[in-house]
Structure 1
């Protein structure tokens, strides 16, 4: 008998009048059915969140921290179960799914720590004569209810990056998971329901995409945190110009290999990391390596190694511990990647390995001689495809990185500390990773981009700042 998963309305289980299926992208098997909230239930969740806002904001820090600690602990206890679910929902290889659960465990733990140590600041105002006897206490307060909209590629951890900071600051959150991968978020709801958080402080609603515009534009939801495509993200921002909108969007991340990264060990390391992180989620990561920009002095030796290591990536059933690369989220996604590679080849590119689709799976692919007018050269492929580019200097390499509408992260393989600081100074991205691929992310660091890669920052502490504002208390007539 197929399980129909209920959703979470103001902290309690609920069912709607219809449901939809979630299917495994590798074999098409039914993962489960998910109940869809009615319009009346969506309204009930919003009203409950608004009513809960003042109560939740006044909740003692130890209550919020204890709830976050509980979630972290329970996720750790249920790691294998949830990892298997992530793999079933989106085709992520099980070894990467386990890593995602581990990251979510840390996100909730950090949120608990931040909830305990967020104290605000004080300042004396008698630094000028007009402030004599005055003293200020600056504290942060929630901007209001958060609408969190999560993507399919990290159905637990990117949900955690919205839910955990909201709970930490006492902001009610209505979470909308991706239609392809809602069950992981609903399981998180099971764990949240075990806590003592106030009724209405959180809901997990698998709202169909076509019903989202009304929710996005609801004035009672002043904060929107969206992770997904740049097209949808900026449509949201443009539709609600007076709201606080955080967008974590796409990229076409570059790995730069400079001339000094030239030993056998150096080149092997760079090729290993590039091959792994151009394919590790079937390329479905905003910071997956899409472009390799290598100095001409190391290019040929590097290319040989990259192709060999990409060919060594194990593909197949993502439930197999040995598999490195599973399917894309669905067959349409794989067909789109196939069409982009075909377009590149028609415009002169050479496929050095890969270039073959089977159902929802696309073979790890490396292309060279990519024309600037190919869609693969400018857009985010969000698939296991890597392009190679030869340059003659650091100037040319950094210019190539910046020649993009996106600016999320870049990796620079160099031993030169001056080049490292130059990269941070000149590269138009949100993060620069030295000595590794651009795909490295520590969940406590500020994470986000510039240009079409979005606005605002994730990372627990930084998202907490995004969800709050400073409120100043001035005390008068004090002997300081």
Structure 2
């Protein structure tokens, strides 16, 4: 029996797509949960409605008023939190703590931007820097300002964070005064659609400020106009297609891409097997490999340790991973659930086979079997690979396996380690483990140009740090090169993407009027 189609909220009303739709499945049980379709939806109407109705209504509000709307969204999501956890278990196959990374992480991010926006008060524009005199007489000056773009923000999101991926983008966009259209990844679209439905039903936002369209993304990019923006999270191949679309190449639509990332963990050359830095690395690597079954764009994919500690690190990480029970997330003894789909399972197994051409298996958790699940499920056990010749490897520095897989590599000098880390050609995050703050600072500078974030962990912050892979709203998320070259979050820096900067040159008296309407952008 075919399940029902989830409706899309588009052009200010609920619309069900035509046709049979694309099914979503429980990745553990294999049962069909619901279907999605965007067929037959008038895309041009929806984009125009968002721009003209949603955008105008949002821009009529101050930053403080829009911040209040974010607070109300937070309340709606918190009231429905239990339902979201049930959906995540069924559709994403995640255990409760991993669902929390997605769901509670979204609520935290919304709350953060609500507070940031509240501090901007009644302003309707942002003052960017101080006035600059343009003549000997101070009566003629220039003031840079930022105003919301009069377009729509299209979000094409990934399957691994259907909640956080929505709200970490939508929070700064809505605070900026820009309406959003969300196209969630089909495999896990249910949670995104349900959250939008709850917010729409609560009547929090002006109609047209928040839209969701599930199913095929065909034609969405064709609707973009010059003042629109598009933000994509997913594969490098799809990112390339988006960048080559005429909306970007001819209309200069602002584009943010977050793509592949071979993130690294680096252990200080001064560490020993008994040092706190070594223990911190081991714990973080094991955690990053198993949280959300390794389906995080920020997960640790390569681990670099001094050659003398290669075997000790392999044993210690393997011992940690051996404690991870894998299977049905409904079973309380399970610590790691499934991948989100059979397609992702096939992709991970194929990628693992590629990595094995240059690496050996140091730990394979599949021998323990699954709890309340079988081989037909999308479960994949954590696998630690290793090579003692990482400098000659090619595949290991080029292929990202989006699952519970990581590769251990020894280095003979810190310069060699830096060189191998950079062979990832740009990553979202690298973590550094050391008890020497001088080394940490030096390593951070060396790695900063090839990473969007450097996560420095030392014993004094062992109980405080947010985690290698946890993306926090006050810090930058994005990375150069193959990571996509984009930037998100980073506090109020996130608002830059949704604003247009302009220099107003004129009388200081006119600039006084502008200043009264604006808030100083303090980063």
TM-score, length of structure 1 as denominator length: 0.91
Label 1:270 to 1:477 Cα distance change in 2 as closer, same or farther (>3 A).
Answer: closer
Unaligned runs of 5+ in 2: 370-374, 458-464, 513-523
Shift of 1:294: 0.3
Q: Higher mean Cα deviation, 166-175 or 399-408?
A: 399-408
Tell me what 2:186 maps to. Answer: 179
Q: Higher mean Cα deviation, 195-204 or 63-72?
A: 195-204
Shift of 1:185: 1.3
Asked if residue 31 in structure 1 is aligned to residue 38 in structure 2, the reply is: no
Tell me what 2:175 maps to. Answer: 168
Tell me what 1:81 maps to. Answer: 83
Tell me what 1:148 maps to. Answer: 155
Tell me what 1:296 maps to. Answer: 307
For residues 49-92 of structure 1, give each alpha carbon's deviation from its aligned partner in whole angstroms, at most 9, with x where no partner exists: 12123332222334322221111112122222102212222222
SS in 2 for 1:209: coil
Shift of 1:473: 4.2
Cα distance in 1, alignment partners of residues 396 and 347 from structure 2 = 11
Label 1:361 to 1:399 Cα distance change in 2 as closer, same or farther (>3 A).
Answer: same
For residues 420-452 of structure 1, give each alpha carbon's deviation from its aligned partner in whole angstroms, at most 9, with x where no partner exists: 222221111111111276323212311110111
Contact 2:36 2:186 in 1 (8 A): no
Shift of 1:143: 5.1
Alignment map for 1:80-479 (pairs within 5 Å): 80-118=82-120, 119=123, 120-121=126-127, 123-126=130-133, 128-132=135-139, 134=141, 136=143, 138-142=145-149, 144-193=151-200, 194-215=202-223, 218-219=224-225, 222-239=228-245, 240-241=248-249, 242-262=252-272, 263-345=274-356, 347-354=357-364, 356=366, 358-359=375-376, 360-369=378-387, 375-427=395-447, 428-435=450-457, 438-459=468-489, 461-474=492-505, 476=507, 478=509
Label 1:192 to 1:473 Cα distance change in 2 as closer, same or farther (>3 A).
Answer: farther
Cα distance in 1, alignment partners of residues 311 and 87 from structure 2 = 41
Cα distance in 2, alignment partners of residues 264 and 162 from structure 1 = 39
Q: How many residues align?
A: 476
SS in 1 for 2:406: strand
Shift of 1:226: 0.7
Label 1:35 to 1:127 Cα distance change in 2 as closer, same or farther (>3 A).
Answer: closer
SS in 1 for 2:295: coil
Cα distance in 2, alignment partners of residues 131 and 37 from structure 1 = 59
For residues 81-114 of structure 1, give each alpha carbon's deviation from its aligned partner in whole angstroms, at most 9, with x where no partner exists: 1022122222222221023211111111122223
Shift of 1:178: 0.6
| CA RMSD of superposed structures (Å) | 2.5
Label 1:143 to 1:249 Cα distance change in 2 as closer, same or farther (>3 A).
Answer: farther
Cα distance in 1, alignment partners of residues 39 and 64 from structure 2 = 32
Contact 2:230 2:253 in 1 (8 A): yes
Label 1:195 to 1:301 Cα distance change in 2 as closer, same or farther (>3 A).
Answer: same
Contact 1:313 1:324 in 2 (8 A): yes
Unaligned runs of 5+ in 1: none
Contact 1:284 1:328 in 2 (8 A): yes
SS in 1 for 2:27: coil
For residues 175-220 of structure 1, give each alpha carbon's deviation from its aligned partner in whole angstroms, at most 9, with x where no partner exists: 11111111111122123212342222221011403444534xx326
Cα distance in 2, alignment partners of residues 301 and 323 from structure 1 = 27
For residues 298-326 of structure 1, give each alpha carbon's deviation from its aligned partner in whole angstroms, at most 9, with x where no partner exists: 32222210111112112111233442322
